[in-house]
Amino acid sequence: MLDRYAVMGFPISHSLSPVIHQQFAEQTGQKISYEAIEVRPESFDQAVEEFFNAGGQGINCTVPLKELAFKKADQLTERAKLSGAVNTLKRMEDGSLLGDNTDGIGLMTDLCKNLGLSLAGKRILVLGAGGATRGILGPLLEARPECLFLANRTIEKAQKLKAVFAPLGALDVSTYEDLLGNKFDLIINATSASLSGDVPPLPNGILAKQAVCYDLAYSKKPTAFTVWGKEKGAVLSVGGLGMLIEQAAQAFYIWRSVRPDTKPVVNKINTAGGH
């Protein structure tokens, strides 16, 4: 029997994860199955138990289940603890569930390896202070930027994150309008505004020369934020397909101890019009 894996979320029908993991499996000769299962938050616990009781080996969790997966895990990695969310569950030999979060490392791999950016000494701005932001602040601070600003509509949420991440480094918390007068080399959109076609109300003139804009959201069409970045003169303004594929590669490694090559998968999805 094939080792069984799945992604759970709601909604889930547009998830690219099954295609990505099937390509990883083919490429590395791993015999696995990977399916998408629509799970509402209220039935998450039951769905996870049924999946693992039936011999399942691992689950990816996406919106809106990552915080529930964090609670469900028996053990957590340090990065999962910091982000307060789990996107990868692995069944351990003793039957317990390990919870990890590969979103942050997925973003960093896309930024630094695939796009060739160096973040040390750079001025970075993150938009939003929800779950997506929590998953990426740790590795961004560890990359030693000159400064890391966190802007959010609701300032209290940004202040909370500043306190949580204080042991790792300083965060400059700001409203969108108070960003006026600052310039950034990299702006990362971690709000859910793109999902409704909106862009946070950013002041003019905040892109430094050669600035890069990165939207954690991805879709077939350019997101509202990547369009904004291009209009404002960013040298590069991209959506989060690369991060999605890299976080999947990390999850695959956690489960199978084999590192897939992400490049052919990115190319194949781009060619198929998935981005």
**Spatial distance between the Cα atoms of 165 and 170, rounded to a whole number of angstroms:** 8
Of the listed 66, 72, 90, 122, which one is catalytic?
A: 66
Residues of the shown chain interacting with ligand ATR in the complex, contacts defined by CB under 6 A: 128-133, 152-154, 157, 190-193, 198, 200
**Spatial distance between the Cα atoms of 243 and 28, rounded to a whole number of angstroms:** 20
CB of 231 to ligand ATR, least distance (A): 17
CB of 39 to ligand ATR, least distance (A): 17
Task: Give the chain's largest Cα–Cα span.
Answer: 60
CB of 218 to ligand ATR, least distance (A): 13
- Paired strand residues for 123: 147
160 is catalytic: no
DSSP H helix total and E strand total for the chain: 10, 12
CB of 66 to ligand ATR, least distance (A): 7
Per the listing, tokens 């973040």 go with: 119
- Give the pair of three-digit tokens for residue 14: 């547009």
Of 226, 245, 246, which Cα lies nearest the Cα of 236?
A: 226
Q: Which DSSP helix (H) or strand (E) runs through 190?
A: none
Q: Which is nearer to ligand ATR, 194 or 237 (CB)?
A: 194
Q: Which residues are catalytic?
A: 66
